Amino acid sequence: MFRDLPGEYRFMCSGYPKRLAGAFLIMMAVFLLTPDVGVRAEEKPIKVVASFYPVYIMAQNVVRDVPGVTVTSLTPPVSGCLHDYALTTNDMKKLEGADILVVNGAGMEAFLDRIMLQYPQIRIITLSEGIPLIKGIGAEGDNPHVWVSISNAIAEVRNLGVHMEAADAGHAELYRSNTRVYVDKLTVLQQRMQAGLAPYKGRKIITFHEAFPYFARAFGLEVAAVVTREPGSEPGARELADTIDLVKKSGIKALFSEPQYPSLAAQTIARETGAVVYALDPAVSGPDVPEAYLKIMEKNLEVLKNAFSK
């Protein structure tokens, strides 16, 4: 009776209960009809590490809901800019087993050479690649704060999307979709900020960190002076006196410090000139949510409109 059946089925039908034979055939059918099950099981997880907060937020959006991909921040989210940041032992541990390190570049991550030497297998994605940089003053290098301009942030997000597609081709369409969605949100915000700040083109601002030249250029503002070029430092007596004189002569009534770097100098200048100190955020720290950059820039728009309207 079972002579014409394949051997693996003949033994079932000849000696095993029909109920077990039927269950086996159902299992075989399910397996054959779902060929991707084995592929998914074999997919290697991808560990992405982002150098610091703004890069981390971009990476969160680009890898959102991609199976098997995780993203962590190399440095604590309260670190701010990384000009003189020294990696800790805990930071370096985050790189163990990492597949990709996403960095801003343009000189922001001074520790990058150390990472490349210790972890040569990690793929480095540099987001500022191809973005025209603003030269620093004097002997200073290029200004690395490109992400503070929304148009540059869009370019960085697109760079990340393209590189992630290449690194994980199996999920290329999902990276492409995530990138498109986030770029659309950034574009809408950029247009809203351009419209909101259009009446104030040409206005001069004084900042207390070299973080806003790209931002100012994007919205037609002019950085008249940068009092403190490095966070945590205070200007000398001569620089402070020159800035007070500049504020008095120019009639500038708004000074912009940063919430991450309280500045005694800002309060001194305000007291001597009658100017008002506002907080303008370069998005180097904040909440651990994908929408954080959008919300920070929306707040900056309201701060600037409030400052200029007065």
Per-residue pLDDT of the chain (310 residues; tens, 9 = 90+): 434 444 444 434 444 444 444 444 444 444 444 444 333 345 789 999 999 999 999 999 999 999 999 999 999 998 889 988 999 999 999 999 999 999 999 999 999 999 999 999 999 999 999 999 999 776 678 999 999 999 999 999 999 999 999 999 999 999 999 999 999 999 999 999 999 999 999 999 999 888 999 999 999 999 998 887 666 667 788 888 988 998 999 889 899 998 887 678 888 999 999 999 999 999 999 999 999 999 999 999 999 999 999 8
Backbone dihedral angles phi then psi of residue 247, each to the nearest 5 degrees: -60, -45
Going from N- to C-terminal start, the domains of the chain cover 7-41, 43-192, 200-309
CB 185 within 8 A of CB 191: no
CA distance 268 to 259: 17
Is the torsion defined by CA of 151, 153, 157, 163 positive or negative? positive
Is 43-192's fold the same as 200-309's?
yes
DSSP 2: -
Task: For the domain covering 200-309, report its CATH number.
Answer: 3.40.50.1980
Q: Write down the architecture of domain 43-192 according to CATH.
A: 3-Layer(aba) Sandwich (3.40)
pTM of the model: 0.84
Give Cα 73 distance to the centre of its chain. 10
CB 143 within 8 A of CB 136: yes
DSSP 242-266: HHHHHHHHHT--EEEEBTTB--HHH
